[in-house]
Amino acid sequence: MKKNLLSKFILCGVLSTSVFMPLMGNLNAEEQSEFEKVQTALMEKLEPLPQKDKDAQVAAIVSDLSNEFWVTESEGMKAAAEEFGAKIDIQAPESHTDASGQLDIFNTMLSKGAQAIITSPITESNLIPGIVEANNKGVKVINSGTKVKEDLLKEQNGYVDIQLEMDFYGQGKLAAEYIIEKTGGKGKVAVLAGNEGSTNGDGRRDGALDAFKEAGMEVVQVVQADWDPQKAFEATANIIQANPDIVGIACGNDDMGLAAVEALEEKDMNDQVVVVGVDFTSQAKEAIKEGKYDASVAMSPYLGGKQAVIIALKAIEGQKIDDAGETSPMAIVDSKNVDKFEDWK
């Protein structure tokens, strides 16, 4: 199953219509790469853009700077800050599970005079005390990724200035739908999920589960592997030992997906199991090219980071930002279309 896969989706057909179409704009497809097209359209959507060289101070807290996704998102943030002449401070806790450490970073950023803070919370509630304090100080809060629990935030008279939406449920569903098509919707499948309680982890898990159930496939196990490759490797080894006839594994990110592939390779089962992840990391791209990894749901963390900083700068200026909406494209990338994504980031 790993060689010469027939792609269900071809870009631009692969880009989720509900997410991508608002970004299309007036583009010349022959002159721009897929990444360039999306970037051009995103900048058009964000108009009016903030003024440049105002020396605004923006801070950003991500969940894990050892993960390629967050590193790439940070690069997008830095690029936007440089383009618009702003200062930016990007930090992450020691681990992707260090919720209290992330709150400490948030509070430190407040004390250092940030005018806007971009947050990617580890859980739905760990940053609430900091967000409330930011509200009291007039600091703008741009939330991206895991959503903050609205009821708990309202109880403390807190709010985020904007929640940047990303269709995590749709990403998980798209990954599962690829497996469904490759297997004819028959057989046993499993899901390797991220941190339980995180919007991205739960959304991708639930999207995959709903797609499998709707297709009538048997989900033999759902494992919360916490984005951890070692946990994903061990979970896959246990799953295939108990279910040697399994046909597909949907993974919450590529780190877990590639770990699943390693476990399958050890048992010489990689050709019989379709593995799909999310993020389209550089390692995933190479594995797809080599025929080891079936597919990945590509997003653009770089543009997500760039967008967040631009919106933060608009908020500092007093521009209206509550209609930014959902702007992140997504696509299935496999061996048939991977060459079209060389500059995707």
pLDDT in tens, 153-198: 999 999 999 988 788 999 999 999 999 999 999 999 999 999 898 8
- Radius of gyration over every alpha carbon of the chain, rounded to an integer in angstroms: 20
Q: How confident is the chain (345 residues) per 10-residue block, as mean pLDDT?
A: 36 37 44 82 91 94 88 96 97 90 96 95 92 97 88 94 88 97 98 90 96 98 97 98 98 98 97 96 96 95 93 95 68 93 91
At 15 the pLDDT is 44
Looking up tokens 């990007």, which residue turns up?
90
At 328 the pLDDT is 66
Query: Has this prediction a pTM greater than 0.75?
Result: no
At 327 the pLDDT is 55
At 25 the pLDDT is 42
At 326 the pLDDT is 56
Q: Is 246 exposed, middle or buried (0-12, 13-18, 19+ CB in 10 A)?
A: buried
Beta strands in the chain (DSSP E): 57-61, 87-91, 116-119, 140-144, 162-164, 188-193, 218-224, 246-251, 274-278, 295-298, 331-333
At 151 the pLDDT is 92
At 72 the pLDDT is 92
CB 307 within 8 Å of CB 280: no
